[in-house]
């Protein structure tokens, strides 16, 4: 599950934070998540916040103003790590978002870009039950149906 990561309102001098990514207007930040995990059901309550919900923040520090030495520090905080795993990296623009955030933190702003989409073959993700239904319909039922129709047509023409 994704966590909200709202920047605090009163921030230490020398720090600057702003939202980097937000969930949509229809999102909800649940305050009580125990019921979600135990019962696998969610009912919005009075403590829950409605979207947009901040799910990633960027932070810049002027170390001199913060009295931490000299230079500048950068940090990106994500409310979720699953968006950058192998399964989800190619979804939407997760790869660009993660790589651009890493480039920004490293100070490599010249390499920040949204790469063009590459065309690839379409894929269909089926559950095991859906796969079994497709298999039965296409391999077992359809050939038998064609065989029965063929026999009926042959029988009618013969008579």
Residue 77 confidence (pLDDT): 92
Note whether 47 and 110 are same-domain residues.
no
118 and 128 in a single domain? The answer is no
Provide the residue range defining the domain that includes 21: 1-80
Strand order in the sheet with 15-22: 15-22, 54-62, 72-78
Give the Cα separation of 91 and 47 in Å (integer).
31
How far is Cα 85 from Cα 65, in angstroms, rounded to an integer?
Answer: 36
32 and 67 assigned to the same domain: yes
Residues 97 and 138 in one domain: no
Instruction: Indicate whether 53 and 108 sit together in one domain.
Output: no
* pLDDT tens string 56-113: 999 999 888 888 888 888 999 998 888 888 877 777 778 888 888 888 889 887 877 8
Whether the predicted pLDDT of 156 surpasses 90: yes
Tokens of 21: 């990514």
Is residue 155 classed as helix, strand or coil in its secondary structure?
helix
60 contacts 7 by C-beta, under 8 angstroms: no
Question: So what's the pLDDT on residue 128?
Answer: 92
Percent of the chain with pLDDT over 90: 23
């Amino acid at each position: 599950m994704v966590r909200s990561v709202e920047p605090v309102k009163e921030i230490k001098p020398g720090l600057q934070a702003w939202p980097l990514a937000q969930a949509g207007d229809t999102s909800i930040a649940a305050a009580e998540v125990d019921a979600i995990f135990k019962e696998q059901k969610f009912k919005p309550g009075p403590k829950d916040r409605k979207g947009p919900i901040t799910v990633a923040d960027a932070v810049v520090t002027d170390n001199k103003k913060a009295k931490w030495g000299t230079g500048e520090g950068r940090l990106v905080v994500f409310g979720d790590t699953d968006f950058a795993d192998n399964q989800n990296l190619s979804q939407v623009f997760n790869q660009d978002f993660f790589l651009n955030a890493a480039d920004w933190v490293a100070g490599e702003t010249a390499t920040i870009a949204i790469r063009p989409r590459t065309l690839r073959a379409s894929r269909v993700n089926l559950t095991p039950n859906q796969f079994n239904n497709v298999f039965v319909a296409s391999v077992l039922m359809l050939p038998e149906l064609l065989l029965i129709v063929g026999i009926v047509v042959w029988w009618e023409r013969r008579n």
